[in-house]
Structure 1
Amino acid sequence: MLHDELAEIIAVLRDLGGDHACVEAKRAETKLPKSIRETLSAFANTSGGVLILGLDEAHGFEATGVKDPAKTEADLAAMCSENLEPPLRPLIGTHRFEGVDLVVAEIPELAPGNKPSYNRGTGMTQGSFVRVADGDRRLSPYEVQLMLANRGQPRDDEQPVTGTTVANLDQSLVEAFLSRLRRHRSRAFAHLDSTAALQRAKVLIGDELSLAGLLALGEFPQEFFPQLMLTFVHYPTKSGPDGRGGTRFIDNVAAEGPIPVIVDEALIALRRNMKRRSTVRGAGRAEAYEYPETALREAVVNALVHRDYSGPSQGTQVQVEMYPDRLLIRNPGGLYGSVREENLGVEGTSSARNATLLKILEDTPLPGSDRPICENRGSGIPAMLAAMRDAKLSPPRFADDISTFTATFPNHTLMGEDAVRWIASLSEHGLTDSQCHGLAMLFHEKTLNNQAYRNANDLDSRIATEELGDLVARGLLVPVGGRRYAQYNLAEDVAPAATDDPAPVKRRADRREDILIALGDGEATRADLVSKTGLHDRTVTRWLSVLLRQGLIEATEKNLRSPNTRYRRTPQRTFDEG
């Protein structure tokens, strides 16, 4: 880790007044705190993180230091190797900061095939932790089981269901399924009779139905698994039931049957409860639902197909909750395999927890259509994001917490009149369309990260990073969490006071005078100017480039990227002349 990055992380901790999801600071003058094992396990089981030893959180993250950094490094490395299973190999180093020594460890996330990381002394069930917000939480036995299952290919969907036979199948679904198999996969299925074809497709395991076969083609799977269904609830307020008016919900639906029927019933319930909004299209107006149906269908299918079907989760249904400001779709079981929150939406990214169920549904058509339930191509979430972009809506927010996965759809137009008026009031020239979309997302939400920005604008990571960096340099955004774990907030001087009635922003977009005043009659490095002005490093860098181009300052070295380069005012020109 670079010293500048460490300084930035500590500055963020002090501003926040607490630890960050990916950063933990602990006081450790003479020995390692006992809770370090929990933090190491939590970082390794989540997304990795940074451990800083020598900061006192209780006193505003004061740099108290460690007395013997070499011994502390050795003790920490030994703990990672000897007390954690599997052994961890963090990058550990000592940094001089504010006159004391800090020991900093960068803990990588473990590969899915090696999780969970746990403390050997207390065992896997009691010694496995996960990072939640700024703390460490012990994993439940169910979450530990999920991580162990993710080490290989789960086979829960292939298990035979005792007491079932072909008589429990929906004959119309079976006929459509077999017809499609024989048309599209003729080499494997055209010459087989119905029973042999169902066995080859693993709808039948011997004479009994597989769980996948029952869920995809069964007449009424809930006869055997009452909770393997979908519930839809439409709440009257943003927080749920209306306690004052006594209205618990506006609509409440239990969608049962095989997955094709559940998807159909869920979409009917959603259409019935969605409002329609008018948008101007060319010379006329077009009516559209609050949420595009394509996005909702893909989200519902994803929840049903990729949920966990192991024994401990068979009492939990897929839940769809509609509120005035959002729609939430939640399923048991987090992301599986190589799919992570940060690569959701990347075309072709796919890892099937229920491979057999997915394969069956690939050849199972939706009711009244020849279109299959799913395509098994990793295209579901990209299609969902594209539908939201086309409708000018904010992209859904995804949250994975091991035991559940949630997709939340905000209910607002991304570039509504208020957002457009607010962006115009910033008086920033040269913003790209995607940067305007990112600002509009922050107008409606509290934070933004690289993944959400990419999803909203269909950009690759490099361009998204450049554009977000430019917004930071313009003083519009403030990164939180350090470069590697950055989220972005609106700068205080640009944030609207209230989204219901956003007032025009009054801000000083031009920072040339700040830089020139900080330079005075002397010389200063870029780091000196950051310290004197309180501006972000990217902002200082941007305005130094402007001042150099206008001839108002000069550099002492040709290599402007060097931290040793110093800047001074040019005597022949003044700010007014520039």
Structure 2
Amino acid sequence: MLDDDLAEMVNTLRTLGGDHATVEAKRAETKLPKSVRETLSAFANTAGGVLILGLDESQGFRATGVREATKLAADLGALCAESMEPPLRPLIQIHRFEDVDLLVAEVPELDAAQRPCHYRGTSMAQGSFIRVGDGDRRLTPYEVQLMLANRGQPREDERPVPGTSIEHLDGALVDTFLNRLRTRRPRAFAGLDTSAALHRAKVLVNEQLSLAGLLALGAYPQEFFPQLMLTLVRYPTIEGPDPHSGARFIDNVAAEGPIPVMVDETLIALRRNMSRRSTVRGPGRADSWEYPESALREAVVNALVHRDYSPLSHGAQVQVEMYPDRLVVRNPGGLYGVAREEDLGEEGISSARNATLLKLLEDVPLPGSERPVCENRGSGIPTMIAALRQAKLSPPRFTDHIASFTATFPNHTLMGEDVVRWINSLQEPGLTNSQCHGLAMLYHGEILNNQAYRNANNIDSRVATEELGDLVARGLVVAAGGRRHAQYRLTDDVRTTINSGSSPRSPRKRADRRAELLAALDGLELTRAELGAKTGLPDRTVSRWLRLLVKEGLVEPTERHLRSPTVSYRRSAKIMLDDGFGQE
């Protein structure tokens, strides 16, 4: 880690007034705090993070420093290597910061095959933690079990269900399923009778139904697992039940049966509870559902197919909740395998917790259709995002909590007339369409990070990083959190331009940094980092305004390679500092 990176992290902590998901600061003048072991476990079990020793949170993250930094670094290294299981190998460095020594450890994220990381001085259940928000939380026994199961390929869906037989299958579903198998995969299934084919497909295991077979083709799986169903509740308010009228819900549906039937019944209930909206399409208007049906179908299928089916989760249903401002689909069990929250929607990102169930549902059609329940090609979430983008809606927000996975669909058009009017009032020429979409998401109160920005605009991570950085440089948004997990929010002056009324938004006074930079360069040659330190401006802001000043001939670099951080800048000899400078 560079000194500039550390300074940026500390500045973020001071601005936020607390730790965040990927950075934890602790006071540690003479010895390691006991809570260090919890933070090490939490970072390793989540997405990694940075531990900074020598900052006092109770004093606004004042740099109090550490004494005998070399010894403390050795103690921390020994703790990681000898007291954590599996051993951790963080990058530990001593930084001189504000006239004191800080100890900084960059803790890597553990591979799923090694989790959970825990403190050896206690049991795995007691010593395993996860990072939640700005704190460390002990894993529940269920979460520990999920992490252990995720070390390999789970086989819960292949387990035989006691008391079941071929008689508990839906005959019509079985006939359709076997016909498709014999047609699509004749070499494997064409010459087999019904029993042999069902055994080969792992619907039958030693004359009993597998859990996958029961869920995909069973007549009524809830006879054996009453809670393996889907519930849909439509609430009257954005908080849920209406405290004034006493109405708990507007509609309440329990979808039962095999997965194809549950998907069909859920879509029928969703259509019944959705209204239609008019949107501008070319020269006219088109009516469409509040949410695209294809996106909802993929969300429901994903929840039923990728949920955890281990015994500890058999009492939990898949839940669909409709609120006036959003729709939520939640299932037991978080992401499995290589799939990561920040990568969802990317091509080729797919991991199958229930591989046998997914394979079966490739050849089981939805009721009244030739369409299979799923394609098993990793296309579910990309299809969901594309459908919402085409409908001019905000992308879904995905949340992985180990024990559960949630997809949230905001219920609003991304670029309505009020949003367009507000963006125009910012008076920022040159914004791309994707930058406008990002600002619109923040206008609506949504979370904006690199993943959400990519999903909303169908762009790659590199472009998203550049465009978000430009929004920061323009003074429209600020980033909080580590670079990899940064979230963005509107700056205070931009936020004040939004109000709840219908009157036009107040124009924002644009921050022109030319005068500040020119004044800082008066008689000096300074690098970007030195300019940032002298003016207090973020590096991205300094970089943006330097480019403009160079383009306008007001500033000149001392070298040709403008991207190098070692390049110094000086005022051009032909200009004079006056009261104002031209706008972009």
Q: What is the deviation of 1:269? A: 0.7
Does the 8 Å contact 1:12/1:482 carry over to 2? no
Structure-2 residue corresponding to 1:568: 570
Aligned mate of 2:548, from 542, 546, 570: 546
Q: Deviations over 1:158-200 (max 9, x none)?
A: 1111111111111111111111111111111111111111111
Q: Deviations over 1:351-394 (max 9, x none)?
A: 11111111110110000011100000000000000001000100
Q: CA–CA distance in 1 between the matches of 2:507 and 2:538?
A: 20
Does the 8 Å contact 2:397/2:409 carry over to 1? yes
Q: Deviations over 1:291-331 (max 9, x none)?
A: 00000000000000000000000000000000011100000
Q: CA–CA distance in 2 between the matches of 1:66 and 1:262?
A: 59
Does the 8 Å contact 1:49/1:108 carry over to 2? yes
Q: CA–CA distance in 1 between the matches of 2:550 and 2:341?
A: 41
SS of residue in 1 equivalent to 2:321? strand
Larger deviation: 171-180 or 478-487?
478-487
Q: What aligned pairs does 1:395-434 form with structure 2 within 5 A after superposition? A: 395-434=395-434
The one-letter amino acid of 1:465's match is: T
Structure-1 residue corresponding to 2:380: 380
Structure-1 residue corresponding to 2:276: 276
Q: CA RMSD in A?
A: 1.5
Q: What is the deviation of 1:521? A: 4.8
Q: What aligned pairs does 1:220-239 form with structure 2 within 5 A after superposition? A: 220-239=220-239
Q: What is the deviation of 1:509? A: 4.4
Structure-1 residue corresponding to 2:498: 497
Larger deviation: 446-455 or 255-264?
446-455
SS of residue in 2 equivalent to 1:266? helix
Q: What is the deviation of 1:559? A: 4.4
Structure-2 residue corresponding to 1:296: 296
Structure-1 residue corresponding to 2:244: 244
Structure-1 residue corresponding to 2:440: 440
Q: CA–CA distance in 2 between the matches of 1:93 and 1:523?
A: 31
Q: CA–CA distance in 1 between the matches of 2:445 and 2:314?
A: 34
Q: What is the deviation of 1:84? A: 0.4
Q: Cα–Cα, structure 1 residues 403 and 567, in superposed 2: closer, same or farther, change >3 Å?
A: same
Structure-2 residue corresponding to 1:87: 87
The one-letter amino acid of 2:498's match is: A
Aligned mate of 1:555, from 554, 557, 560: 557
In structure 1, stretches of 5+ residues that fail to align are none
| Residue 164, structure 1, aligned to residue 182, structure 2 | no
| Residue 454, structure 1, aligned to residue 462, structure 2 | no
Q: Cα–Cα, structure 1 residues 446 and 169, in superposed 2: closer, same or farther, change >3 Å?
A: closer
Does the 8 Å contact 2:427/2:508 carry over to 1? no
Structure-2 residue corresponding to 1:261: 261
Q: CA–CA distance in 2 between the matches of 1:53 and 1:561?
A: 33
Structure-2 residue corresponding to 1:147: 147
Structure-2 residue corresponding to 1:369: 369
| Residue 6, structure 1, aligned to residue 9, structure 2 | no
TM-score (ref. length: structure 1): 0.97
Q: CA–CA distance in 2 between the matches of 1:148 and 1:390?
A: 40
Does the 8 Å contact 1:418/1:499 carry over to 2? no
Q: Cα–Cα, structure 1 residues 193 and 285, in superposed 2: closer, same or farther, change >3 Å?
A: same
Structure-1 residue corresponding to 2:529: 527
TM-score (ref. length: structure 2): 0.96
Q: CA–CA distance in 2 between the matches of 1:171 and 1:577?
A: 79
State the number of aligned residues. 578
Q: What is the deviation of 1:563? A: 4.5
Q: CA–CA distance in 1 between the matches of 2:63 and 2:417?
A: 47
In structure 2, stretches of 5+ residues that fail to align are none
Q: CA–CA distance in 1 between the matches of 2:565 and 2:282?
A: 53
Seq. identity, % = 71
Structure-2 residue corresponding to 1:198: 198
Q: CA–CA distance in 1 between the matches of 2:447 and 2:360?
A: 40
Does the 8 Å contact 1:319/1:329 carry over to 2? yes
Q: CA–CA distance in 2 between the matches of 1:245 and 1:523?
A: 69
Q: What is the deviation of 1:510? A: 3.1
The one-letter amino acid of 2:74's match is: A
SS of residue in 1 equivalent to 2:312? helix
Q: CA–CA distance in 2 between the matches of 1:531 and 1:514?
A: 12
SS of residue in 1 equivalent to 2:492? coil
Q: What is the deviation of 1:447? A: 3.5
